[in-house]
Chains A and B, each alone.
Chain A
């Protein structure tokens, strides 16, 4: 049970950073930016290149995240601001196209092979009966600090109040003296940073290849939708639900159900759990897990 919980939390944190980034941007510019999953791949590749260039990991990680944040802002100014003038459907298609272009650039630059950060090999430890690695604990710490930092910005800073106001009512925010374009670009920057950190934590525990973005797309979207698309912190709860379902599918011994000693579902079936939950939520609770707002008319 402890192992199940631990695996669920680790998997949830894989998804959470990118899902929070997706939901945060959606709350402001009202389109799901598919390219965010490729920003996470960009972050992972860039972090590795910076480490190979001789930078310590503790410098390479934040530097890569900041560069991806700037790249996300650049794409927003050059591409998405203009596409959004034509509507959110056009912007969504544009983000899909950008995602494919970035994938092609990665293929050209890195080929189809998987790459790893240069990290020392550390044996697994036992913690309350669960098997954990140092890399799992360090990525857990990075993710929790990043999410805590984002929540602190959102609820305790002037920028956070302006982000929430702009997300709630962009016209009224502008009429209250908020420079909404600047707020949106700041949010896009933060989302790029979070996505890049998400990609790097994934790569630190495994590897990064050009397929990473495609593999993350569905579970990240499922987590963001479950949390209520646009509710950045709800995306964390969505990630936990998706991860619990995925971990259940891959970690449960289905053998006794079929008269066998052992029968485990292949890891590739994990996405089926995401898909099934996504469809169920879209059918029965399309606004996500949290819909408590009272609306008088």
Chain B
């Protein structure tokens, strides 16, 4: 579903943060992007999403060239759902309004059906559906952000550090929710994460980035036992 080839990208007049990165992600799989701080994980996700325009290379979604397509068109055209790392809810809106923002183009029946399904799936949101999002805890906001993206019925889900700032218990709940989404819906999930072991435990494949390049790629189960992964993830020399 997603195929990025030889991507170069950066911000403003600054240097390339992504240097010749290639990666793929297919339906029914979770692909995790790992790496130390500053290696370009979030930039890669933002480039795939359409927030950052690549300076070189190609991004194909469902076989179509999509490197210059902005995020709001990717949402409509390719069914992309994006969950940002921070500022991931509409703070001045209620939980219900947040969810409905993700379903603007749906028919009333589909919207109501998905809304009720999500309320059943995430009781913590159901209990606070009339509360302002600003009054939710960090974990609840993360769940709300995920649920907002799911309201649109995405075929591709891009998650930017879904466990950022969460307690271990809440983190476990969030990862479990992500795993269930992959299993229940034939979705392609591309996820950037810092918590490598939690993320690898639910994902199918992973790319480990180092200094803007893909240093390692393998099946998640293999990476969990690979000593090179630990060196890379801790910022060590990939050739050591």
Contacts and interface: CB of A to CB of B under 8 A. Distances in A.
A168 B92 contact: yes
A175 B87 contact: no
Interface of B: 49, 51, 70-73, 75-76, 81-84, 87-93, 101-102, 104-105, 132, 134-138, 145, 148-149, 152
Contacts of B93: 164-165, 168
Contact of B134 (A172, A178, A179, A294): A294
Contact of B101 (A176, A180, A294): A176
Given A177-B105, A179-B72, A296 B136 contact: yes
B89 A169 contact: yes
A180 B71 CA distance: 10
A177 B102 CA distance: 8
Is chain A's interface secondary structure helix, strand, loop, or mixed overall? helix
B104 A176 contact: yes
Given A169-B91, A296-B137, A176 B132 contact: no
A175 B91 contact: no
A296 B71 contact: no
A171 B158 CA distance: 14
22 contacts: A161-B101, A164-B93, A168-B91, A168-B93, A169-B87, A169-B89, A169-B91, A171-B87, A172-B84, A172-B89, A172-B90, A175-B71, A175-B83, A175-B149, A176-B101, A176-B102, A177-B76, A179-B73, A293-B134, A294-B132, A294-B134, A296-B137
B92 A294 contact: no
Given A172-B87, A172-B88, A175-B75, A293 B132 contact: yes
Interface residues of A, number: 22
A178 B136 contact: no
Nearest to A177: B75
Contacts of B51: 171, 174
Interface of A: 158, 161-162, 164-165, 168-169, 171-180, 293-297
Contacts of A171: 51, 84, 87
B117 to A, nearest CB: 19
Contacts of B105: 177
A293 B92 contact: yes
A296 B89 CA distance: 13
Contacts of A180: 72
Given A172-B84, A176-B148, A177-B104, A296 B90 contact: no
Contacts of A172: 84, 87-90, 145
Nearest to A178: B72
Nearest to B105: A177
A172 B146 CA distance: 12
Contacts of B134: 293-296
B152 A177 contact: yes
A134 to B, nearest CB: 41
B71 A174 contact: yes
A162 B105 CA distance: 12
Nearest to A176: B101
B72 A174 contact: yes
A24 to B, nearest CB: 15
A158 B71 contact: no
A277 B88 CA distance: 36
Contact of B49 (A173, A175, A295, A297): A175
B71 A165 contact: no
